[in-house]
Structure 1
Amino acid sequence: MNWPIIKPMTYLRIILCIFCAALFAYFTSGSAFLPKFIISSFVLLGFGTSVTFVVKKWVLTPELLAIFKTRSLIAPLSFILVLPFEFRFSLPVVILASCIYFIFILGVLFFPYGEKDNKESYANRFFIFLFFFSGIASLIYQVSWQRILFQMIGVNTESVVIIVSIFMLGLGLGGLLGGVISKKYPGKLPEAFFLCEFLIGAFGFFSSYIFKAFNPIFWSVSFSSGMTLLFLLLLIPTIFMGATLPILVTYLNYYKKNTGVSFGTLYFFNTAGAALASFLCVDLLFVFMGIESSTKIAALFNLGVGLFTFVYIRLTHSSSIEIQEEDSYQEASGSSFIYYLLAFLVGFISLSQEILWVRAIGFSVAGMPQVFGHVLGFFLVGIALSSAYAKKLCEEETFPMKKISYMLLASAVVYAFSLVLVSFVLSLTANGGLLVSYGLIMVVAFLQGGVLIALCHDLLSKKGGHVGSQLSKLYLANILGCTLGPLVTGYFILDSLSLEKAFFLFALGSVFLSLIMYKPEKEKIIASVISLLIVGGTYFVFADKILFKLFKKSAPMAATKFDKVIQNRHGIITTHIDENGFHITSGGGGFDGKWSEGLFYDFPLDRPYIFALLHPKPRKILLIGMSVGAWGRIIQDYKHLESLDIVDINPGYFKLSSMYPGHEKLISDPRVKIHFNDARRWLKLNENKKFDVIIMNTPHHYRSMVSNLLSKEFLELSKSKLNENGIVFFNATNSPDGLYTGAQVFKRITPYANLFMGTDSIASLDKDERIRVLREDFVYKRAGVSDLEFEKKIDKVASKDFSDIGPILRERKDLLLITDDNMLTEYKRPHSRYSWLYWIKDFPRE
């Protein structure tokens, strides 16, 4: 028998992978060893083979390849490092283990290789390694700072778009600064990189304290002035982050003499670091730490990079010995506008597509908080791989634009069909659908991500000019596209088009971008026409089925279609009719409630009446969360009501409420004021308003951003808005930590179903008074209910136990305080329905 010719090292690598997979499967919690062993083996072998292929074929220089082949053998052993932890077999486990594997691979590239080292090889490997960790730090900052700023100014669409735009614009301006530095001080580029990293790290280490000090300043001025000050504040770190890329590309290009290769190599490792950070944030840092600790870890990365750069400068006696300002370069000739336009457009399209992916996948899993980090991570993995491939093209070809343009054309077809494929797989299996989604995100990003590197290479090959200067302008154009893409898409396009139509629009955008990137040839025109037909046909055949299929598996139901769908920039609201004929409302794919007209309806709604049983004649009421409007209608029928303020982040609920009979009374009532804003932001903007009762019927505690409504800080803010004897009603949605947090803020906690009353007042009504309030102080739609049935229902509600459970809660040692910083309910308490998005059984308790 003739065995295939396989090198001994390959056999050894396969054996190691199988051995590690066996340990991996054995140590994970639960049963079913064999399936986990098989999956682990395929993951280890597949991922290891893929990483090895990319690094060997696209990234490594010839002199490093031989050493890599021997030292990369130990990489599979990296998976053993995760075994001491108690975890369940899930997607984050595979992601984190893969990240460890990649760091091992990078370590192989970094460690010194002895006498064969020369300055070129040393500089290449040294700054590649440092730029990888710089990428990790930058992404941790972005995710963490966004969360801090959302808590400070709210999470409505305006805030999200503005914060992202400010961050990206700072990077673009930093790119310009880096171009100026690289041109004016070519002999001091390592020193410039050291200074940038040190300043970023210094700001990052103290950033949480800086933002806390900035908070009162922000609210003391107008919103526009506050945003201007915020931009100036964020400009300090982001401008130095953006400057590092042109500085390092220029420095390494003195050795490589090929801009595409220098740019592609650095961009690959920096983006790979950023991808790793995306996974680390949502699957590790936010699980075991909080936002403040995460930013300090990022700062240590920056300071460590700065320290190693300082050591490099001392060991090499500075680079100014070899690199002089008169190093020759040709002045740029002709107009470069088309290059800047293409860089802008590819940034605009790619970031817009990422936003659409976040919405689609978030909708399919009811807004789980890990989705954003995973989508961003896999998107960046695709960009990194594409950077490595583009770097290889720049080595082999003088003008790689033709291949890149065809890749862009292919991305349009894949992107157009991706939502159809994902919705189909999700309707069969939630886990499989999520994996397919992440795979398609990576493929589309890979097909698009090499454009910027190819443009830079082509621009300098044809037009000439200083490397750092040309790169910084191209980078700025790309960043402006990345800034305006989320702004235009998130603020305007999603407010005008459905998710399905927006996918179709940006698939078409990729087709047209491909056509203008490289002069059309006959075969390309034919390919473009075929692509357009595929894109258009896919949309028109499947568009009306996509959204329902995305939703169905995460929320099993008997319905076969949506009854109502409202899409806008704030999210997706749907209703369907269940097996009992009730109208079920969902927001962002998660359950919001059932439509009801009150206590004596087929679906009896009793919780909205409780506020009047625990407060002596409340008159001013704040309702946070409108949903379909049922709670507002019931509160409106309270006879002593003077004012009802309703705050909801999505105006689509107002539109939905108007579709139900009887709710026009809520909209037209002069006592009722409806505000579309983030609750925290609205409370801060209306600091002089006080209420007798605040009611929060929040979404499920494990969904994204919900810990902002259950945190100690938000409950304290709500408490500060109460009049004497005031009460806050909050729905902890079965989170015991939410109750524990309420007990730390309020002296008294009283339960009713999953609604809890928090107050410092000892005032209460006896049962007879509660019966009188229910009987006399509300206007009911009794729908033919007899007097006997009426009294029975009233007595049942009034007879509930309203005793204080605060002392019992405060004594419990197994519960933890929810804070803005720890985001406890989102990342530290796995939910059974989405356990495959968590890798820990539960967060450690005392």
Structure 2
Amino acid sequence: MLQSTTSQKYRSFSLLFIFFFSGFAALIYQVIWQRWLVFYTGISSVSISLIVSAFMAGLGLGYLAGGQIADKVGKNKPILFFVLAELGIGIFALVSKSIIYDWLYQSNILSGGSPFQTYLTLFLILLFPTFLMGLSLPLLSKAFEQKNAENQASYISLLYFTNTLGAAAGTFITTFILIRVIGFENAVRLGASFNFLCAITAGVIYYFQNQDTEPATSQTIETEKGFTWNRNFTYWILQYTASGFMAICFEIIWFRMIETMMKSIALTFSIILTIYLAMMAIGTYTGVKMAKKLQNNRLKLFLNTQYLLYIYSIGAILILQWAVSDVSALSFLFEYFQSYETSFAPKIAISTMFVIPFFLMAVPTFIMGFSFTLSQLIIQDKFDEVGRKVGWLQFVNIVGSTIGAWFVTLIGFNQLGTALTIKLVSLIGLVYVVALHRNKFNSLLSRILMGASLILVIVLLPNNEKLWMKLSGMADEKAFIVKEDETALSFIKTLGTESYVYVNGLGQSMFPFKSDITHFTLGAVPALIHPNPVDIGIVGLGSACTLYNAGGRAETQSLDCFEVIVNQPEAVKEYVRRTNDSTALYIMNDKRVNVILQDGRYYLHQNPKLYDILEADALRPKSSYSGNLYSVEYFKLLKSRLKKGGLAITWGATGRIRNGFAEVFPYIYEIDGFMIIGTDQPLEFDENKIFERLENSFTKNHYGRAGIKVRENLEKVIKKRVVLQNGTVQKAKSYNSDMWPKDEFDYGKLWEKILGKED
């Protein structure tokens, strides 16, 4: 029976409405589950790619199964299956923290497992909820039979629009509001309530729809018909696979570029994904509204828009890298890219957080959404095949996305570099020029110009070193070092007599070591205070300045340095090769040093080794994932890995960090106004003994080699010490926890800064 009554139309609209909240909840989960999963995989691009791949694998299988179910079950039954799927997602969400964090992480169940075991576990854990999420679109696509194929395609596109718009809203609101106001666990519970709301509403729709449906007869009973898998559908299978590959490739590339230009803050991922999803939703809706005007030459329009997507994507990058270095009006951006710190000055924040992301992403993602509607208008011609067509196409799109994610991560960034990866992905655009030629769309001259234009833009895009040099605010190749792999971008910029180390655009430390008082304090002061620092662990390499200063005692036998950025040691070695800086070369070759290329918290959680000193090199509280190194749970982990009388060191950048330390360590001391030392017993600050240690020949030679005025520096900072806690553990109202990293997401005055209302 065709949909005709007003009540049925309202039910159809209601399904569209609740599908918004289903998408909203899904992105709450993606944002937060990813945070929980890295606790036992470690923070690296590879581990995050594992998580995203596991997430997408479940979705893909759900799409495929959902299409089969939708076409096989009787009239209205797809709505019932949607109800069950939403209930299942909500139930899993309510227990997800117990499974992902409490069981997998706290019990250390994957300790010593292989990467394959880790991925398999991720896949199996996420399979249930993501499979159910994937079921939804194919099921609802078959929920109501429209009066003709065009209306059916438009309805499918509206479903995609509302779900994607909900996902965009979920991404933005989760990061900017929910995490900040209620934390991870409560945000997930809110997502579960949305799933239950969707299930209840869809259940009511199912009930009344059944009441209005005529009893099944031999003429009205739906039977499964053979699926028309012809050459034309095979072409669309290939197109959706290529589309998924391209979309994820550009998304990851855009993230790397924008994160570097923003200087790696916790909001970067949310901003990028919000724009990506929102513009895709708008594009989808625009396609629906223009459906009747697009009746002629839909395939021609589709092929032309795909070409436009590719040439715009690479062309925008080409224009951006040229403009920031050569357009005087944008000189402020060039200067900011060169600078050391993140800035929320109005012009900088608006440019890096909104203007540049929109310029790079808005048009391509709009086209992606528009293309979805256009392709559905072309493909959907039989109601009996609606579910399977949607399911198969979304499944292969996910397959393409998964291949693209691993291509960019393991081959693109590792072997080719960002620039060459962009060029290779953009070459796919030529396929659409060939398709236009085969179908004799556009004039011959037009097709030749289109192909030539894309090739020209690809050729004009500079190589990797020059691309990143411009986007880093540098003009002299000799003063710039770049190392890139799947983990991050490492830069070393020489400005005057000093050189600075950057990771993803944000300054970390500097050369020569004698000029870096901050990292001298972090490294040398704990080592000189401790009576016998045999084993020292440091999270973060940077320029190796903290590591070098921590190694000034002959008593020290091991210096473990945990660095998640795999290319960071190579960047330091390249600096040494160019400058012959003997201090950096010395510490990198020191037999006591063991550089462990792994997430520091993950390593400490997995390994029982005890240390005399443990510290994280100063990490800005608002940097992405910084909450993992400033939570009470992390401080407890540090305490469990210290020998008796051992020292835990952190940057006391905020009151919450200090409160967290006070929850864990009975004795807390502040040095030079920024460094916090925590220990389980009183710390002796005998200045005579400390300065006597400087007379040791090993210590003299070590600091003298770097030209560090160790006595002068030590006298300045050791006098600036304050006892913050002396033997009692305090309970604080506000601190950072794994379930609520408040400092990382506390941008309460961000908008005032952007709008210029705050100095």
Is TM-score (shorter-chain normalized) higher than 0.5? yes
Task: Kindly indicate whether residue 166 of structure 2 is the aligned counterpart of residue 301 of structure 1.
Answer: no
Decide whether the 8 Å contact of 2:682 with 2:726 is kept in 1. Answer: no
Task: Kindly indicate whether residue 309 of structure 2 is the aligned counterpart of residue 411 of structure 1.
Answer: yes
Aligned mate of 1:240, from 129, 132, 135:
132
Decide whether the 8 Å contact of 2:667 with 2:728 is kept in 1. Answer: no
Change in CA separation of 1:160 and 1:331 when aligned onto 2, cut-off 3 Å: closer
Counterpart in the other structure of 1:229: 121
Counterpart in the other structure of 1:186: 74
Change in CA separation of 1:121 and 1:784 when aligned onto 2, cut-off 3 Å: closer
* CA drift at 1:566: 1.4
- Counterpart CA distance in 2 for 1:576 and 1:129 is 51
Task: Kindly indicate whether residue 508 of structure 2 is the aligned counterpart of residue 592 of structure 1.
Answer: yes
Range with bigger deviation, 250-259 or 208-217 = 250-259
1:139-160 deviation per Cα after TM superposition (whole angstroms, max 9, x unaligned): 1111111111123322112210
Decide whether the 8 Å contact of 1:141 with 1:298 is kept in 2. Answer: yes
Counterpart in the other structure of 1:509: 428
SS of the residue aligned with 1:616? Answer: coil
Decide whether the 8 Å contact of 1:203 with 1:237 is kept in 2. Answer: yes
Task: Kindly indicate whether residue 614 of structure 2 is the aligned counterpart of residue 700 of structure 1.
Answer: no
Aligned mate of 1:570, from 471, 487, 506:
487
Q: Give the count of matched residue pairs.
A: 714
* CA drift at 1:356: 1.0
**1:587 partner amino acid:** V
- Counterpart CA distance in 1 for 2:393 and 2:494 is 52
Match runs of 1:498-647 below 5 Å: 498-513=417-432, 515-516=434-435, 519=438, 521=440, 522-523=444-445, 525-536=447-458, 538-540=460-462, 546-552=467-473, 562-579=479-496, 581-598=497-514, 605-647=520-562
Structure 1: unaligned runs, 5 residues or longer = 1-62, 64-115
Change in CA separation of 1:807 and 1:636 when aligned onto 2, cut-off 3 Å: closer
Aligned mate of 2:239, from 305, 330, 342:
342
TM-score computed with the length of structure 1 as normaliser: 0.78
Decide whether the 8 Å contact of 2:258 with 2:352 is kept in 1. Answer: no
* CA drift at 1:637: 3.8
Task: Kindly indicate whether residue 93 of structure 2 is the aligned counterpart of residue 204 of structure 1.
Answer: yes
Counterpart in the other structure of 2:664: 745
Decide whether the 8 Å contact of 2:261 with 2:352 is kept in 1. Answer: no
Task: Kindly indicate whether residue 436 of structure 2 is the aligned counterpart of residue 495 of structure 1.
Answer: no
**2:13 partner amino acid:** R
Task: Kindly indicate whether residue 334 of structure 2 is the aligned counterpart of residue 427 of structure 1.
Answer: yes
Decide whether the 8 Å contact of 1:767 with 1:798 is kept in 2. Answer: no
- Counterpart CA distance in 2 for 1:486 and 1:267 is 22
- Counterpart CA distance in 2 for 1:263 and 1:738 is 49
Change in CA separation of 1:155 and 1:639 when aligned onto 2, cut-off 3 Å: same
Decide whether the 8 Å contact of 1:171 with 1:239 is kept in 2. Answer: yes
Decide whether the 8 Å contact of 1:332 with 1:465 is kept in 2. Answer: no
TM-score computed with the length of structure 2 as normaliser: 0.86
Decide whether the 8 Å contact of 1:606 with 1:797 is kept in 2. Answer: no
* CA drift at 1:572: 1.2
- Counterpart CA distance in 1 for 2:648 and 2:169 is 41
Counterpart in the other structure of 2:343: none
**1:413 partner amino acid:** I
Counterpart in the other structure of 1:32: none
* CA drift at 1:638: 2.1
Decide whether the 8 Å contact of 1:370 with 1:837 is kept in 2. Answer: no
1:687-739 deviation per Cα after TM superposition (whole angstroms, max 9, x unaligned): x211111121132111111111111111111111111111111223x323222
SS of the residue aligned with 2:646? Answer: strand
- Counterpart CA distance in 2 for 1:384 and 1:413 is 21
Structure 2: unaligned runs, 5 residues or longer = 325-329, 336-346
Counterpart in the other structure of 2:10: 122
Aligned mate of 1:821, from 716, 733, 739:
739
Counterpart in the other structure of 2:378: 458
User: What is the percentage of aligned positions where both structures have the same residue?
Assistant: 22
* CA drift at 1:178: 0.7
Aligned mate of 1:219, from 105, 110, 134:
110
- Counterpart CA distance in 1 for 2:755 and 2:470 is 20
Decide whether the 8 Å contact of 1:140 with 1:278 is kept in 2. Answer: yes
Change in CA separation of 1:312 and 1:680 when aligned onto 2, cut-off 3 Å: same
1:511-555 deviation per Cα after TM superposition (whole angstroms, max 9, x unaligned): 435644883532552243243244235414x97664345444xxx
Q: CA RMSD in A?
A: 3.3
Task: Kindly indicate whether residue 568 of structure 2 is the aligned counterpart of residue 678 of structure 1.
Answer: no
- Counterpart CA distance in 1 for 2:250 and 2:388 is 29
1:657-700 deviation per Cα after TM superposition (whole angstroms, max 9, x unaligned): 223232333333332211111112111221x2111111211321
* CA drift at 1:332: 0.5
1:350-391 deviation per Cα after TM superposition (whole angstroms, max 9, x unaligned): 111111111111111111111111111111112112222333
Change in CA separation of 1:778 and 1:318 when aligned onto 2, cut-off 3 Å: farther
Match runs of 1:321-336 below 5 Å: 321=214, 324-326=220-222, 331-335=227-231, 336=233
Match runs of 1:661-740 below 5 Å: 661-662=581-582, 663-686=584-607, 688-732=608-652, 734-740=653-659
- Counterpart CA distance in 2 for 1:735 and 1:135 is 35
**1:676 partner amino acid:** L
Aligned mate of 2:390, from 466, 471, 483:
471
